[in-house]
Chains A and B, each alone.
Chain A
Amino acid sequence: MSEDAFGRKLVASLAVLALVLSAALAVVTAVRRPHVEIVHATAERAS
């Protein structure tokens, strides 16, 4: 086993955590992102 096994394991764990966190953040951001719409009072103005 390489003498830097601890370092590699640490990096792998941190990388997996980063992937999980960024995926979760992307999902949450996409779900919660508002889709703003101006609803006009009359159809005439909406057109």
Chain B
Amino acid sequence: MGTALGRRPLFWAACALSAGIFLAGRWPVTAVAAYTAAALLAVKFLIERRFLALFLVLFFPSGVLAASLAHRAGPADLLRHAPSAEVFVGGRVVSEPEWKTGVSGSRRTAFTLEAKRFWSGPGAPPEVVSGRTRVYLRDPAESPVFGDELVVRGDLELPKGRRNPGGFNQRAWLERGGVRTILFGKKDCVQLLRRDRGNPVLAAAARTRRFLSEALAARFPGQNAALLRALLLGERSGLDQDSKDLFFKTGTVHILAVSGFNVGFLALCVFLVLRLVPVGRNVTTVLSLAAVWGYCFLVGWQAPVVRATLMLTLFAASQLLGRRADPLNTLGFAALGILAFRPLELFDAGFELSFLAVLAIVVFVPRFLEAGPLAPPGEPIRLRDRAGRYGAELFWVSFVCLFATLPLTARIFHIVTPVALLANLAVVPLAGFLFVAGLLFLTVCAGPAALLAPLAGVIVLTIRALLKALRTVEALPGASIAVGEPTVVFCIVLAGGLALLAFHPRIRGRWTRAAAVVLFTADLFLGRALLAAVLPRPLEVTVLDVGQGDSIFVRFPGGGTLLVDAGRGFPADDGHYVVAPFLKARGVSALDLLVATHPHADHIGGMPSVLRELDVRNVAAPESPCSGRLCAELGRLVTAEGASRSVLARGDRIAGFGKDISIDVLGPPPGPEPYPDVNDRSAVLRLRYGRNVFLLTGDATTPALADLPDPGPADVLKVPHHGSALGQAGKAFFERVRPRFSVISVGERNPFGHPRPGTLFKLASIPNNLIFRTDEYGSVTFLSDGRSVELAA
């Protein structure tokens, strides 16, 4: 240990700092307690004269302290005013605004505002505040840019944590950037005070980024420009979902994140160019480093680039000093450099994957790659040998990165991409070429058009080749497999097994070792899937939190899957951001039946994303006129998916989910327009499993409820129409159903005033009825064994 510490003090210091940050983020470890423990250890090491250990022991409490400070808001933080409606917040834009455009042409933007002033309402005196808030605006009259000073009128809210299993944790994501509140701007809510008030150096970087983005947008069509922006500048917001999914499903999404790949190519390019100029090797190294730091600055200090730049700097510095840098020590230096300034980056997937991949390359690649000389001493190296070595390096680096990061990627993204190895062999050289060509284009983008046209043509052809390669790989059977969310124990067993196989002294050949790694991983995932398939499981009904909308997922004991509605469309796109991640986290990649209760956007808006991202076998909906762009899109996707379509009406039954399962359609009556209001034409489903009954009512209101055949008592009621006013018919309906659990799927501070106090009162007057609101509780899951229903933890 002493030797390892002595050779790699920075690596172990980074481990100690990370452990401190991790523990402070997970358990209530105070900095005082950590420093006390460290002080006791320090005394021990001092007595034993182990000075290096003494030095390292201080990093653990420093991690605890850094994380505690990062979690703590200042006394004047805007946080203490949240939540509050119709307030004014003045401050400076400190991030480049991200833009999104919906199918209707509506534009949304989001940016971070460094708050300085706060007004609780019109005419209220200003208060001095601090802290950052994330601002969301819809169709703003002004287009804010980095460095603008402005006042925004809107509703100040606290960000939500994880609302759905497998879903996005907005609070944690924002906190990593020091943001603790969100501000939803009202219509015409922005008053621009001054431009260019930000840090002049950062503003210059933002301006340069904007200029380069516009240069790319002016020369390249739509998604080509967006792909180049992602590849060159790390700006992914312009990429459409299909393109992102293509990279994601082929395990090549790292290409879209600026990282060591970009830094390496940039340094190589500058180095090779400078070798043509008669300057010394040291000058070449220093200028290459300057270019890399300039790039790091340009792309806004994204963690993977900072990591690669710090490592490269330490390597170069050690070369200049005539010393040899230890790769693990260098990696530790980079981690310390980032975590000292942004300790919460430790919990960012990009940071974790970037460091884990490099750690794996350093530790495991030598176990697979033969590193002998390419030619005998004195003989020239043949091009074929050089290319062969490059190909072998690329293959083994991809192999090691794929398997070393597998436990983490499976847990974070719930997907395994066996084709990543193949995809990377094709994509990395193409993306490398594209990066170099793109850099060349950006360097000369102000030049004459005649000069740029051939270069732009080459770039477009390369993009086409890259996308074609990815689509070919994506179409292969088993290209990506949804594996659900593995437990921590499973991930530890997987990681431990892979490490053991990589180092086992009795496995000699590298191909034997690689085959063992592949087969062990396959066995573990197959065994897990088989266990999940054969072990008895309860009926599971989850009412997802999709804001002011509906989406209910049912998994049957036999494994069948049913989704009733899919939440809202753009810009929320619950199908993509809530439903699909939830299903993937549950290991569901196919839906046996998708039911659209009625054609309103808060129920079917998320369906296009569900149809794109999952295999849907059957689709059913009541007969109801459905026109407009959303319905046309849905019709096209259902046809493309090859799903069978059925019309639902009162008296129908849905069969096939198991012998103890029955699903009855209680409404609406047959016919195209049995009621004037579309809400009343909602499909009302009664799901029975053994003695338990679940009643899913869509948006049925008073006329439909009054007309409904007696549903009988139910254990769980999805309250009709987000808890709107349902009158006496609603009261009579609740008394007939007498639910034990009532769930209201409703959005926080929705403009309709749902749920209505009268409806809440009627529900509360039902004896032994527990009421859940998704705006307060998030998603709610019920489990049934056919005899009793219980709430999942």
Enumerate chain A interface residues (CB-CB to B < 8 A): 3-4, 6-8, 10-11, 14-15, 17-18, 21-22, 24-25, 28-29, 32-42, 45
Contacts and interface: CB of A to CB of B under 8 A. Distances in A.
Interface size range on B against A? 35 or more
A38 B508 contact: no
Contact of A32 (B559, B647, B655): B559
Contacts of B507: 4, 6-7, 10
A34 B526 contact: no
23 contacts: A3-B508, A7-B508, A8-B512, A10-B512, A11-B512, A14-B516, A14-B519, A17-B519, A17-B523, A18-B523, A28-B534, A32-B533, A34-B556, A34-B656, A34-B657, A37-B654, A37-B655, A37-B656, A39-B653, A39-B654, A40-B651, A41-B670, A45-B670
A39 B657 CA distance: 13
A21 B530 contact: yes
B522 interface: yes
Given A14-B520, A45-B647, A34 B592 contact: yes
B650 A11 contact: no
Contacts of A29: 533, 559
B635 interface: no
Contacts of A38: 618, 620, 646, 648, 652-655
A3 B529 CA distance: 35
A10 B516 contact: yes
Given A36-B618, A40-B652, A21 B533 contact: no
A34 B658 contact: yes
Interface of B: 506-509, 512-513, 515-516, 519-520, 522-523, 526-527, 529-530, 533-534, 556, 558-560, 592-593, 617-618, 620, 646-658, 670
Contact of A11 (B519, B558, B648, B670): B519
Contacts of B617: 36
Contacts of B559: 29, 32-34
A36 B559 CA distance: 12
A25 B556 contact: no
Given A34-B556, A39-B653, 12 more contacts: A7-B516, A10-B507, A11-B519, A21-B527, A25-B529, A34-B558, A34-B559, A36-B593, A37-B655, A38-B654, A40-B651, A41-B670
A36 B534 CA distance: 20
Greatest chain B CB density within 10 A among A14, A34, A41, A45 is at A34
B652 A28 contact: no
A38 B664 CA distance: 10
Nearest to B654: A38
Given A14-B520, A25-B529, A34-B559, A7 B512 contact: yes
A37 B653 CA distance: 8
B509 A4 contact: yes
Given A11-B515, A41-B650, A18 B509 contact: no
A41 B649 contact: yes
A28 B537 CA distance: 15
Of the candidates A6, A37, A45, the one having the most CB atoms from chain B within 10 angstroms of its own CB is: A37
A24 B512 contact: no
Given A4-B508, A18-B519, A22-B526, A36 B654 contact: yes
Nearest to B527: A21
Contacts of B618: 36, 38
Contacts of B656: 34-37
A7 B506 contact: yes
Contacts of B620: 38
B547 to A, nearest CB: 29
B526 A18 contact: yes
Contacts of B529: 25
A13 B316 CA distance: 47
A22 B655 CA distance: 29
A8 B519 CA distance: 12
Given A34-B560, A38-B652, A24 B506 contact: no
B526 A41 contact: no
Contacts of A24: 530
Nearest to B558: A32
Which of A4, A7, A24, A42 is packed against the most chain B CB atoms within 10 Å? A7
B655 A41 contact: no
B642 to A, nearest CB: 14
Contacts of B519: 11, 14-15, 17-18
Contacts of A10: 507, 512, 516
